[in-house]
Amino acid sequence: MLNEIKKKAQQIKAKPVVAALNKNGFLAEYFDSPEDALQRILELVPHEGTVGVGGSVTIRDIGVVEELKKRSALTVYDHWQKGLSSEDILEYRYKQTQSDVFLSSSNAVTQDGKIVNWDGVGQRVASMIFGPRKVILVMGTNKIAPDLDSAIKRGQKIVAPMNSRRLAKDTPCVKFGKCGDCNSPDRSCIVTTILHKHPAGKQSIMKFHVLLIGRELGF
Ligand code: SF4
């Protein structure tokens, strides 16, 4: 009973955001569970060609990378995989921007369907804007922000500090719990992007899918 109430509450929270994303030209869908979203991703990614996987805790948590790597004719550019040299990592990042499909999460989405991200290197946000013919973003409802201002603040308050902690970086947000607009070489919030609408609008040949899941996933 409690689970059903929680499920309904998530659906109510997500429904207007999905509608707003679709109005902005994205192909947005809602899923009650990561398992349901995983099945949809596996349908959307072809069995051959190339797929780039951006730096995303959500994507790794739902287990999709392992499933895609089982496809013998599909090359997966996953720069988080173990055993890569720093040259390989850089090469994989470039390959992601030129892949047939780009799969990642997003750091925030507003109630009115704008997609907001922060990046340190920049290939993740670049790949969402131009290059891959299909983009699939997957995110939990914890990424919903009421408006653009709070979505942008989410970057400095949650995303950059959590990423810095995850990577044991030496930044003021980790040391003091507060952003110092730092000059640290470890700074992870270097690029901020806002997708107000589907990139290139009606001119675009890119299919941009957004899968919103009624769970707390990533940060
Ligand atoms: S600017 Fe520096 S201190 Fe502020 S959130 Fe980014 S990494 Fe942390």
In a domain, 11, yes or no: yes
Q: What is the value of pTM for the model shown?
A: 0.95
In a domain, 53, yes or no: yes
Confidence of residue 177 (pLDDT cuts 50, 70, 90): confident
Confidence of residue 201 (pLDDT cuts 50, 70, 90): confident
Ligand 1 is surrounded, with C-beta below 6 A, by 156, 160-161, 164, 171-173, 179-182, 184, 187-189
Protein residue with its CA nearest to atom 4 in ligand 1: 179
CB 190 within 8 A of CB 160: no
In a domain, 201, yes or no: yes
In a domain, 202, yes or no: yes
Which residue matches tokens 């349908």?
A: 43
Long-range CB contacts (< 8 A, 24+ apart) of 200-203? 200/130, 201/25, 202/25
Q: Mean pLDDT over residues 117-135, rounded?
A: 96
155 has pLDDT over 90: no
Best residue for ligand 1 mutational test, from 117, 156, 163, 191 (most atoms within 8 Å of Cβ)? 156
Pick the range with the lowest mean pLDDT from 79-88, 176-185, 188-197: 176-185
| Residue ranges making up the domain that contains 129 | 2-213
27 has pLDDT over 80: yes
In a domain, 107, yes or no: yes
In a domain, 179, yes or no: yes
In a domain, 219, yes or no: no
Give percent above pLDDT 70 in the chain. 100
In a domain, 218, yes or no: no
User: For the domain that residue 68 is a member of, what is the CATH number?
Assistant: 3.40.50.10420
Structural domains in the chain (count)? 1
